[in-house]
Copies of this chain bind each other. A is one copy, B any other.
């Protein structure tokens, strides 16, 4: 862990403020982006262990959740992706990274629209997962950490050193 420079101090005592949580989320997403960049192109689409999905397919799930998820949290409109089946990945990592970066912008645009009261509201995320908004948000982040770690094992098995887990903007 390095000295925190981006997380703004809060005016009043809170465990974590929305801007701090946004920074935390985007920090994780920037690390996942680096894992995508370093992943060998062919294996990104094909490599698997134990019958699990290749990293490209995992990334499509993460892309579906992040973009539609932040819009749902901010607006209550959870339409969009089919959580039972995500789109096929673009043919190249560069194409997938463009989708990733579009989500980054969506998150920066919609996250600040989530009111503080909203985080405690119960709602069915994507019409399926009933939970308080804060819990769905943590789920989105945790799910990314979980699948990225899976990709880290893929990278190690391929003989590629993954980016350091702790090197994230915080």
Contact = CB atoms under 8 A, between A and B. Distances in A.
Contacts of A139: 1, 166
A120 interface: yes
B170 A49 contact: no
Given A116-B13, A120-B14, A134-B20, A52 B156 contact: yes
Nearest to A24: B138
Interface stretch (A74-82, A86-94, A99-107, A146-154): A146-154
Interface string A121-160: 0100100011110111011001101111110111111110
A129 B28 CA distance: 18
A51 B130 CA distance: 40
Nearest to A128: B1
Contacts of A166: 129, 139
Counting chain A residues whose Cβ lies within 8 A of the other chain, the interface size class is 35 or more
A73 to B, nearest CB: 11
A131 B3 contact: yes
A16 B13 contact: no
A84 interface: no
Interface of A: 1-4, 7, 9-10, 13-18, 20-21, 24, 28, 49-52, 115-117, 119-120, 122, 125, 129-132, 134-136, 138-139, 142-143, 145-150, 152-159, 165-166, 170
- A-B pairs, 10 with minimum CB distance: A50-B156, A149-B149, A1-B129, A13-B116, A153-B153, A50-B157, A146-B149, A145-B145, A13-B117, A15-B119
